Amino acid sequence: MIHLALQPLMQVADSQLPPTEGVFLIGTVVKMLIVFTVYMVGVAMLTLAERKISAWIQDRHGPNRVGYGWLQPAADGVKNIMKEETYPDAANLPLFILAPAISFIPAMITWAVIPFASPLPTPWGRIDMVVADLPVGFLFCLAISSLGVYGIVLAGWSSNNKYALLGGLRASAQMISYEIAMGMATVCVLLLSGNVSLSTIIQQQSTMGWNVFLLSIAFFIFLIAAFAETNRLPFDMPEAESELIAGYHTEYSAMKFSLFFIAEYANMVTASALITSLFFGGWDIPFTQWDNLPPFTVLKTVLTLGAFLTKVLFFLFFFMWIRWTLPRFRYDQLMSLGWKIMLPMALAYITIIGTVVLALDRAGIARGPTYGAIMFGMNVVLVVLLFVVLDRGRIVSPAYSRLDREEVARLRDISSGKSTLAEKNA
C-alpha cells in the first residue's frame, strides 16, 4: 500500500518539465499544507506584530509577559478555544454560527492563485510555486474575496444587535463600493499584460518594469481599495470602536470571534500579496533578468521566495503603519471618496493608459525597458498633475490644509502659546 502511494515519487522525470499526475497531486497537497500552515502561523504572528508595532509607534512596550511577548499569540489562541460561547437572545442561530465560517473560508482560499516563487525543479519534475495556477488568475481572488462580505452581513444581521447590524451594513456598502474601483484598477494591468494569469503578469513586469512605475495611479487606487476591502484603518468603519463597539462581531465570543479575526488578517496578507504580484513584480528580483529565465534551479526558487516575502512583509508593515498615521474617515467621506473620486479617476486612467499603449504600439516601440521608461515618464507627469495641480492637497494631506491660511495661522498661534483660548473664541 505504502509502495503504491510512493510509486509516483519513484519515477524520475526531467526536472524542467511538468510532473506526472501523481506527483502533481502530491505536490499540490504538500504545497497547500505548507502555505496553509504558514498562513495560520503568520496570522498569529501578525497579531503580535500589530501590537508590537503599535506599541513601537506609540512609544510603549506592548505584549511582553507571555514568553517575553513571543508566546502571546499562542496564549490568545488557547484562551479563545477555552472561552465560553454566548448566544444572544433572538439571534438567528444557524446563521449566527455559519457567519464566521463564511467569513473564514473565502479568506483562506483566495491565496491559492498567488505565485510565491519561481518554479522548483525536483527529480520528479518541475513544481510550480503556486497552489492552483488557474487560467482565470487574479479574477479568482477578486471573486472569492468578495464572498467574504456575506459572512460580515450575516454576522451583523443574525446577532440581533444594533451595533452589529450597523457594522454589517456599513461593511457591505463599503466593500462593494470599493470593489468597483479595485476592479477598474486591475483593468489597467490587463491592458499591459493582456492576460489575467498572475504568472503572466509577473513575467510582463520583469521585462517592462514594475507596474507601480508604469501604472502608478492604478496602484494608488488599488492600494486605497485594498484598505477599504480589508476594513483596515483609515476605513475601518465596520468596526469603528468609538462608534460601534466592535461592529459586526460585537456579539461573538470564543472561537467564532477568532475566525473573524483570522479572516481579517488573512485578507490583509492576501491583499498585500496581490498588490505585490500586480504592481511590484511578484517574486521578481529587481534589476536582474536572471531569476526569470530558465533553467529553474533551487537557488532561484529560494531567492525569489525571499524577494516575494520581503515585499509582502513590507506591505503588511505598511498596513499597520497607516493605522497609526491616518485618522478614521467619516462614513460619508468614505462613500464619496469611493464613488465620486476613485471611480471617475479609474475610468479616466483606463482611457489614458489605453491611448498611450495604442500610441506607443503605433510608434513601433517594442514592449521592453524603453516602453516602460516612457510609461513611467507619463505617470510622473500624471501624478504631479493629480496631486499638485488638481488636488492641491485636499484629499491626500492632513486636515489642516482644508482650512484657510488665516485659520491655520491662528490655530498655530494658540498651540504655540502666543495666543490664548479666550482670543480664539473672540
Partner 1 sequence: MDRNYFPVLILLGFVVANAVMMLALSHFTLRAHPTPEKQVPYESGIPPLGDARERFSVKFYMVAMLFIVFDIETVFMIPWGVYFRQLSCSVPLVNGACPPAQIQFFGLGEMLVFMVILLVGYVYVWKKGALQWD
Question: Which CB, 361 or 407, lies closer to partner 1?
Answer: 361
**Residue whose C-alpha is closest to residue 270's, from 306, 316, 211, 203:** 316
List Cβ neighbours of 364 (8 Å cut-off, separation of 6 or more).
none
Distance CA 186, CA 218 (A): 7
Cell of 27: 505536490
Q: Residues 193-211, buried b or exposed e (16+ Cβ, 10 A)?
A: beebbbbebbbbbbebbbb
> What DSSP string runs through 139-151?
HHHHHHHTTHHHH
Work out how close the CB of 410 gets to partner 1 at its nearest, in angstroms, rounded to a whole number: 29
As measured in angstroms, the least distance from the Cβ of 265 to partner 1 is 15
Give the Cα separation of 9 and 399 in Å (integer). Answer: 62
Q: What single letter denotes the amino acid at residue 100?
A: P
In the bound complex, what is the minimum distance in angstroms from residue 190's beta carbon to partner 1? Answer: 3
Residue 332 or 404 with smaller CB distance to partner 1: 332
In whole angstroms, the minimum distance from the beta carbon of 405 to partner 1 comes to: 28
Smallest distance from the beta carbon of 308 to partner 1, in angstroms?
19
Burial class (CB in 10 A: 0-12, 13-18, 19+), 244: buried
Whichever of 237 and 285 has its CB closer to partner 1, that residue is 237
Provide the Cα torsion 32, 37, 38, 39; round to 10°. Answer: 90
With beta carbons less than 8 A apart as the criterion, state whether 17 and 31 touch.
no
Least distance CB 168 / partner 1 (angstroms): 10
Q: Cα angle vertex 316, ends 30, 378, to 5°?
A: 110
Q: Which is nearer to partner 1, 53 or 149 (CB)?
A: 149
Q: Which is nearer to partner 1, 106 or 315 (CB)?
A: 106
**Closest CB to partner 1 among 220 and 371?**
371
Nine cell digits for residue 316 = 503588511
Residues 388/391/394/397 CA torsion (nearest 10 deg) = -40
Q: Closer to partner 1 at the Cβ: 225 or 285?
A: 225
CB nearer to partner 1: give 24 or 150: 24
Closest approach of partner 1 to the CB of residue 270, in Å:
13
Nearer to partner 1, 246 or 271 (CB): 246
d(CA 266, CA 50): 13
Minimum distance of partner 1 from residue 159's CB (angstroms):
7
Nearer to partner 1, 71 or 254 (CB): 254
Q: Residue 341 in contact with residue 395, Cβ under 8 Å?
A: yes
- Report in angstroms how near the CB of residue 378 gets to partner 1 at its nearest: 16
Name the minimum Å distance from CB 413 to partner 1.
33
The CB-side HSE value for 130 (13 A sphere, CA atoms) comes to 23
CB-CB contact of 73 with 48 (8 Å): yes
- Between strands 120-122 and 125-127, the pairing is antiparallel
Beta bridge partners of 127: 120
The least CB distance from residue 195 to partner 1, in Å, is 6
Q: Which residue stretches of 292-368 are H helix?
A: 298-323, 331-336, 343-362
Q: Give me Rg for the CA atoms of the chain.
A: 24
Whose Cβ is closer to partner 1: residue 148's or residue 311's?
148
